[in-house]
């Protein structure tokens, strides 16, 4: 069964450093998403991406964040200058163009900012 994959599984970085989180969505999916989950809290939407551009973004997704689909398979989330409060699990998700809007999640990248 096709799966969303994410790398790395765990990233440790120092405050102020740039990080890039990588995702490979399911191959025939057209909508891509990033969510985050701070430890002990709920899953929160960050950004959606369709047709090579951002479709929607939340208040969390400020100028420090960017997304890119550099080729036909990868989907990346960049945080330019990490802050302590960026420590969280970051989940990538994707879906097809169907009416049910079911999204399938990758295993996540645990980001620890020290």
Partner 1 sequence: RKEVEQDPGPFNVPEGATVAFNCTYSNSASQSFFWYRQDCRKEPKLLMSVYSSGNEDGRFTAQLNRASQYISLLIRDSKLSDSATYLCVVNLVSSGSARQLTFGSGTQLTVLP
Residues lying near partner 1 in the complex (CB under 8 A): 31, 33, 35, 41-45, 48-50, 55-56, 58, 89, 91, 93, 100-108, 110
In sequence order, what DSSP letters do the residues of 29-49 get, joined into one string?
--EEEEEEE-TTS--EEEEEE
Provide CB contacts within 8 A for 37, sequence distance 6+: 43, 44, 88, 89, 91, 108
CA dist., res. 86 & res. 66, Å (int): 14
Q: Which is nearer to partner 1, 82 or 94 (CB)?
A: 94
The helix/strand/coil state of 52 is: coil
Q: Which is nearer to partner 1, 56 or 68 (CB)?
A: 56
Q: Which is nearer to partner 1, 3 or 18 (CB)?
A: 3
Q: Do residues 81 and 62 touch, judged by C-beta distance below 8 A? A: no
Token pair belonging to 24: 């490979």
Q: Which is nearer to partner 1, 76 or 89 (CB)?
A: 89
């Amino acid at each position: 069964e096709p799966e969303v994959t994410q790398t790395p599984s765990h990233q440790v970085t120092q405050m102020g450093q740039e990080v890039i989180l990588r995702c490979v969505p399911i191959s025939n999916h057209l909508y891509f998403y990033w969510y985050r989950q701070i430890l002990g809290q709920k899953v929160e939407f960050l950004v959606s991406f369709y047709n090579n551009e951002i479709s929607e973004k939340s208040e969390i997704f400020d100028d420090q964040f960017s997304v890119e689909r550099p080729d036909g398979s990868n989907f990346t989330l960049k945080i330019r200058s990490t802050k302590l409060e960026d420590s969280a699990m970051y989940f990538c998700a994707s879906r097809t163009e169907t009416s049910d809007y079911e999204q399938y999640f990758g295993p996540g990248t645990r980001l620890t900012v020290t």
